[in-house]
Amino acid sequence: MGEWSALAISQGVRDGELKAVEIAEETLSRIETNDPLLHAFLHVSPELALKRAAELDERIAKGEDPGRLSGVPVALKDNLCTRDMPTTAASAILDGWIPPYDATVVSRLKESGAVIIGKTNMDEFAMGSSTENSAFGATRNPHDPARVPGGSSGGSAVAVAASLVPLALGSDTGGSIRQPAALCGVVGMKPTYGMVSRYGLIAFASSLDQIGPFAATVADAAVLLEVIAGHDGYDSTSLDRQPPSLLDQLDRGVDGLKVGVVSELLEGADPAVAVQVRLAAETLANAGALVEDTSIPVLTYSLPAYYLLAPAEASSNLARYDGVRYGLRVDAPDVESMNSRTREKGFGAEVKRRIMLGTYALSAGYYDAFYLQAQKVRTLVINGFSAAYESYDLLLSPTSPTTAFPLGSRLADPLSMYLSDICTIPSNLAGHPAMSIPFGTDDDGLPVGVQLMAPALGEAVMVRAAAVLEAAESHLSGQQRRDEDEQ
């Protein structure tokens, strides 16, 4: 098998040098070998994938061009609706549900020649940072199977990190693409709010949710975002503009760009993570960027604001799981007890915690003190970013304050789990794009991710800097630093 990248595979398939069927077979065999340990997938569709790949090969033999992702295997987070596969959001309440329609991103993948391989594990309804909140068992980190992959899109991150598939989609409400990307050592991108249609994404917190790519390289992530981005009439918050052109920006470098390293987001990071962020800053400076430390004090209030707003929206969004319209029903003598018994049995502990938090924050008497106050903080965060982006093109920070933590280690203490997203949440509150790029390792060889943030619609500048970091990354791993120290 040649290079396992989306760009190389689609090129080969379109040129007739590779067969989509062989790529699909290889993918399925990698999953069969590795997934029993990793548990990245909740559902794999071998028959559908092979049939689809065969159709693509036939079309190519006839001289047709199926599109930019011809024959590329893609994994989907299990909160993206697929009409031909179950969609559970890793919740018992949706066990066995098969949606009657495809999410817009799924349709766009199909239109571009991609081969959907299956659905990936996640924290239930995307609530969590470790993929341990799945109703169907945890996912393991391929770098150390005793550790979490991050979350909530842990299955998608692992599917790419373990080279099971070259591309995967996740969703990011407070960091659920970037944080698992960081912990698994892959590229993960949260686009500008409204850049990618949310139609067919099972809603968690609708004002924050965005779908985005996982890939092993910046170029692969860029092409996947180009394919899924763009206006969609089915999502009223979809931006009415051309999808961004990213792939052709990757070689432009960072000469003359201004980059701020956000001190509030570096505070509290593990020393090994902070070292890598400093090295990333140096790398950008060596490539011609003007890099300096900057302060956005209001960002320290992002986490508490998020943990009022996101649960408030979730409590409303999850009201639809009532035993009538979807999935699970626990029978009872009257409707009200059927509703409550279904929800009692169907939702996991973290989901119930969020529904209670959110309901409380929205309730009469507490609304002003909690929900409204959090909305005001959200505005201040937006203003804080706006001020910073008057001076800087990009901001840099850790993606996560730590590397991958041991399975089980944060389950007893929700707050320590919530703190995993302290660096990623601000961009969600502002609706801005942000991405995680693997940048070296800690002393145990676990991947470190650095985060690049940009103002709304700043994806093009962001990927330019990401490409510079990616090019330097291989020279700066923790292992290499130790080797150098020993010499």
Residues marked as catalytic? 77, 152, 176
Nearest Cα to Cα of residue 270 among 20, 487, 443:
443
Q: Does 404 bind ligand GLN (CB under 6 A)?
A: no
Asked if residue 176 binds ligand GLN (CB under 6 A), the reply is: yes
φ and ψ of 372, to 5 deg: -65, -40
426 scored as a contact of ligand GLN (CB under 6 A)? no
Is residue 188 within the footprint of ligand GLN (CB under 6 A)?
no
Q: Note whether 475 and 459 are within 8 A (CB).
A: no
128 scored as a contact of ligand GLN (CB under 6 A): yes
Rule CB under 6 A: is residue 88 a binding residue for ligand GLN?
no
Q: CB-wise, 69 or 126, nearer to ligand GLN? A: 126
Contact status: 310 vs ligand GLN (CB under 6 A):
yes
175 binds ligand GLN (CB under 6 A): yes
**Residue type at position 370:** F
Our finding on whether 204 is near ligand GLN (CB under 6 A) is yes
With 0-12 / 13-18 / 19 or more C-beta atoms within 10 angstroms meaning exposed / middle / buried, residue 247 is: middle
Per the CB < 8 A criterion, the answer to whether 215 and 167 are in contact is yes
C-alpha–C-alpha distance, residues 275 and 403, integer Å: 13
Please pick, from the candidates 70, 88, 134, 173, the single residue that binds ligand GLN as defined by CB under 6 A: 173
Spatial separation of the C-alpha atoms in residues 141 and 401, rounded to whole Å: 17
Select from 27-35, 120-128, 247-255, 315-323 the region that touches ligand GLN (CB under 6 A). Answer: 120-128
Minimum CB separation from ligand GLN for residue 70, in Å? 31
> Using CB under 6 A, which of the segments 172-180, 332-340, 442-450, 455-463 binds ligand GLN?
172-180
Out of 66, 67, 99, 174, the only residue in the binding site for ligand GLN (CB under 6 A) is 174
Residue 147-166 contact track with ligand GLN, rule CB under 6 A, x = bound: -----x--------------
Instruction: Give the one residue of 27, 82, 91, 129 binding ligand GLN; rule: CB under 6 A.
Output: 129
* Comparison of 53 and 309: residue with beta carbon closer to ligand GLN: 309
What is the C-alpha separation between 208 and 313, in angstroms, rounded?
A: 9
27 lies in the site for ligand GLN, by CB under 6 A: no
CA 74, CA 79: separation in Å to the nearest integer? 15
At closest approach, how far in Å is the CB of 314 from ligand GLN? 8
| Shortest CB 255 distance to ligand GLN, Å | 34
- The window from 13-21, 121-129, 328-336, 385-393 that contacts ligand GLN (CB under 6 A) reads 121-129
Q: What tokens appear for 97 in the block?
A: 């549900």
Q: Which is nearer to ligand GLN, 118 or 174 (CB)?
A: 174
Find the shortest distance in angstroms from Cβ 367 to ligand GLN.
Answer: 21
Q: What's the closest the beta carbon of residue 78 comes to ligand GLN, in angstroms?
A: 13
Residue 152 CB, nearest approach to ligand GLN (Å): 5
Provide the minimum distance between the beta carbon of 246 and ligand GLN in the complex, in angstroms, as a whole number.
Answer: 22
**What are the structure tokens assigned to 367, written together?**
């609304």
Beta strands across the sheet bearing 41-44: 41-44, 115-120, 73-77, 167-172, 210-215, 187-190, 434-441, 447-453, 394-398, 258-262, 290-294
With the C-alpha atoms ordered 6, 221, 130, 450, is the resulting torsion angle positive or negative? positive
# of chain residues touching ligand GLN (CB under 6 A): 13
* Per-residue b or e along 294-318, where b marks 16 or more CB atoms closer than 10 Å to that residue's CB: bebebbebbbebbbbbbbbbbbbbb
- Range in contact with ligand GLN (rule: CB under 6 A) among 85-93, 171-179, 339-347, 449-457: 171-179
- Contact indicator for 196, 181 with CB cutoff of 8 Å: no
> Do 158 and 140 form a contact (C-beta atoms < 8 A)?
yes
Alpha helices in 270-348 (DSSP H): 271-286, 302-317, 335-346
Tell me: does residue 384 bind ligand GLN (CB under 6 A): no
- Token reading at 87: 């969609």
Helix, strand, coil share of the chain (percent; to 5): 45, 15, 40
- 449 lines the binding site for ligand GLN (CB under 6 A): no
CB of 122 to ligand GLN, least distance (A): 8
Q: CA angle at residue 362 from 361 to 368, to 5 degrees?
A: 80
- Comparing CB distances to ligand GLN, the nearer of 163 and 206 is 206
Q: Report if residue 79 touches ligand GLN, rule: CB under 6 A.
A: no
Task: Confirm or reject binding of residue 211 to ligand GLN (CB under 6 A).
Answer: no
Of 7 and 434, which has the nearer Cβ to ligand GLN? 434
Residues 406-425, one symbol each (x = binds ligand GLN by CB under 6 A, - = not), give: ---------------x----
By DSSP bridging, strand 73-77 and strand 115-120 are: parallel
| 170 three-class SS | strand
Q: How far apart are the first and last CA of the chain?
A: 37
- What whole-number distance in Å separates Cα of residue 214 and Cα of residue 169? 6
Q: Measured from the CB of residue 171, what is the shortest distance to ligand GLN in angstroms?
A: 6
Give the residue with the Cβ less far from ligand GLN, 10 or 179: 179
**Contact between 172 and ligand GLN (CB under 6 A)?**
yes
Binding interface with ligand GLN (CB under 6 A): 126-129, 152, 172-176, 204, 310, 421
